[in-house]
Amino acid sequence: MKPESESAGVPAVELKGITKRFPGVVANRDVNLRVMPGTVHAVVGENGAGKSTLMKTLYGMHKPDEGTITLNGEQVVLHNPSDAIARGVGMVHQHFMLADNLTVLENIVLGAEPKRWGGFGLNRAAARTRIREIGKQYGLEVDPDVLVENLGVGDRQRVEIIKVLYRGARVLVLDEPTAVLVPQEVDALFEALQVLKAQGLSIIFISHKLDEVRSVADDITVIRRGTTVATADPKTVSSRQLAELMVGSELPSPQTSESTVTDRPVLEMKHVELVKDGRHLLRDVTLTIHAGEVLGLAGVEGNGQAELVESIMGMRTVDGGTITLAAENITTWTTRRRREAGIGYIPEDRHRHGLILDAPLWENRVLGHQTRHPNTSGPLVNRAGARADTERIVGEYDVRTPSIDVLASSLSGGNQQKLIVGREMSGNPKLLIAAHPTRGVDVGAQAAIWDLLRNARAEGLAVLLISADLDELIGLSDSLTVILRGELVAQVDPSTVTPEQLGSAMTGAGEAA
């Protein structure tokens, strides 16, 4: 560990004594952070530790109740993100904020459009030139005229970074930037960060992947329960030590020690086809998941994973093939009937498909389970039963909240995820679809979710696991299937495949085994 006063020179960012209170909770308490120019400064901490609140304060989304913000030696007051952008602070959010139906150029200039001579119309030529200049300067090349919907995840992230650089950012806040990237894309991102550093930019890197943090960061600040507890040197600190600083426990492992796979099929998909506008979203998908089995589905985002999940859930009507749950043909069943038959669902996007953010926690407990005990009393919602079971989930799954009556939007991402996991496991499902179950959660919550999946698997649960964390996929899965452009293209052995081999198979660049 090293004292924060050791660094010389004028910091690009200095936060002193930042305190931010919300009703019933102190999100940040006397937080200190110093980021030097031309460095990558990682901020780590468990979910609910206050990282997001701190970054939103730096980005002008919150005004601190106490403390000061200093940028390049000048103390500032930031009233909104526009103030932060004007001061050279840009933020790339974990959930990309891009419009799929617009081009790269249109997304980048939106709200900062260069005008033609006379002030009328978008000067596309000037914008295109500037975007290409930024791409070349920082190693972030991307075609300005391609539609965002046609980009892979790695290129979408490049667009987000170019968007803040286009506005003149010299401080970049990256929130979980590797959460959805395959290893090759992570390597490309880290190469770009080295170029940004060399150009004198400062990067604040928020992540739960401690090995990545240690490999890319120049300094690491640890936040626990709303306050800074240490600044660590990535050259000397271990991932295990960081985990202990964050949550007081050792770094968890996703490894599963023994097989519990039975010969009893729970989910069977045979020759499933899904077509939209003449294009195959799924082609001849055939797979089986047995009781006690975790089937991992590996693929770069946008290759059919979401469509496969939505087909199983009944959110899409398939154009061919059959889907069977516990020997019953459910191909034409409604989503509600499938849920009642025993399908649990941890969605990829918890905000769109998992929660009503403006509703209290106990109402979110009811979602998707409106017709089942303890949420119903005849045709009506059993308010008392739902509230009591929400209290149970909050305690059992360590959902950190002052009350079950607070809005879901007030929880950190990891606590939102733990609420969803608790809800979906409460119905004793036969099949659990777990799409990115530990995305954006800290090592403590991650370990809890892994333990839950392992225990449920041992009791006979069938699990379809989709994850961008290849170590998680390899460690938890009994079998692994690779999906590429809507087709299942490879089956690999989790006990022998490496993340690099799996990443190559996912991109179509090589064999996985």
pLDDT tens-digit readout, 63-76: 999 999 999 999 99
Q: What is the CATH number of domain 264-342+429-513?
A: 3.40.50.300
CA distance 460 to 342: 13
Inform me whether the pLDDT recorded for 6 exceeds 50. Answer: no
* pLDDT computed for residue 155 by the predictor: 87
- Band of residue 350 on the pLDDT scale cut at 50, 70, 90: confident
- Please tell me the predicted confidence (pLDDT) of residue 7: 41
**Residue 387 has what pLDDT?**
93
Alpha-carbon distance of 512 to 211, in angstroms, equals 23
pLDDT at position 426, please?
Answer: 85
Asked if pLDDT for residue 314 goes beyond 90, the answer is: yes
pLDDT of 444 reads 73
Which stretch of 22-31, 336-345, 384-393 has the lowest confidence by average pLDDT?
A: 22-31
Tell whether the model's pLDDT for residue 315 goes beyond 70. Answer: yes
Note the pLDDT tens digit of each residue in 428-478: 899 999 999 987 676 777 888 888 888 889 889 999 999 988 888 999 999
Candidate from 118-122, 146-150, 211-215, 312-316 with smallest mean pLDDT: 118-122
Count of CB atoms within 10 A of residue 263's CB? 7
Kindly indicate the confidence band of residue 3, based on its pLDDT and cuts at 50, 70 and 90. very low
Angle at which helices 124-138 and 153-166 cross, to 10°: 110
Per-residue pLDDT tens over the stretch 239-271:
888 888 887 665 666 777 677 888 999 999 999
d(CA 229, CA 133): 41
Sheet with 343-346, edge to edge strand ranges: 343-346, 431-435, 462-466, 294-298, 479-484, 487-492
Residue predicted with more confidence, 297 or 95: 297
Give the percent of the chain with pLDDT over 90. Answer: 53
Equal CATH topology for 4-247 and 264-342+429-513:
yes
Q: Where are the domains of the chain?
A: 4-247, 264-342+429-513, 353-427
Q: Which fold has domain 4-247?
A: Rossmann fold (3.40.50)
Do the Cβ atoms of 11 and 36 come closer than 8 Å?
A: yes
In sequence order, what DSSP letters do the residues of 373-410 get, joined into one string?
Answer: TTSEETTEE-HHHHHHHHHHHHHHTT---S-TTSBGGG
Closest CA to 429 of 311, 502, 343, 510: 343
Q: What is the pTM of this model?
A: 0.64
Q: 92 in helix, strand or coil?
A: strand
- Three-point CA angle 9, 81, 189, nearest 5°: 65
pLDDT in tens, 470-507: 888 999 999 999 999 999 999 999 989 988 889 888 88
Question: What is the DSSP code (8-state) at residue 352?
Answer: I
* Tens digit of each residue's pLDDT (9 = 90 or more) over 131-142: 999 998 888 889
In the DSSP assignment, the letter for residue 463 is E
Tell me what the mean pLDDT of segment 178-192 comes to. 83
CA torsion sign for 305, 101, 142, 212 is negative
Residue type present at position 17? G
